[in-house]
Amino acid sequence: QEANENLEDAGNELILSDEDVVRFQIGEVFAHMPVDDVEARLEQMKEDAAKKLEKLEEEKESILAQMAELKKILKAKFGDAINLEED
């Protein structure tokens, strides 16, 4: 989520910029690139980050469902003799 916010902030700063060529970080190097190219790269990076975030959210939901099922099984087996942490 933080990466998405950073990319959104970078896009907003780019819109406010009145320069035709800006510095864009690629790995550890800064390259001078036209604003249009940087905008396109930022959009692609935003899409990639959104897809990754969506995938992680799906994994989280799956894991939480598994945890809930395991807690049910443990509670059924051990009753009050087991103390499970709440989410």
- Please, what are the domains in the chain? 2-81 (1.10.287.370)
Give the three-state DSSP class for 18: coil
Cα separation of 49 and 40, whole Å?
A: 14
Q: What pLDDT, on the 0 to 100 scale, is given for residue 6?
A: 87
82: its two tokens: 């087991």
Beta partners for residue 32, in sequence order:
23
Q: What pLDDT, on the 0 to 100 scale, is given for residue 57?
A: 95
Q: Is the entire prediction scored with pTM above 0.75?
A: no
Q: What pLDDT, on the 0 to 100 scale, is given for residue 87?
A: 59
Spatial contact of 44 and 54, defined as CB atoms under 8 Å apart: no
Q: What pLDDT, on the 0 to 100 scale, is given for residue 1?
A: 83
Per-residue pLDDT tens over the stretch 12-58: 888 888 888 888 888 899 999 998 899 999 999 999 999 999 999 99
19: its two tokens: 């320069």
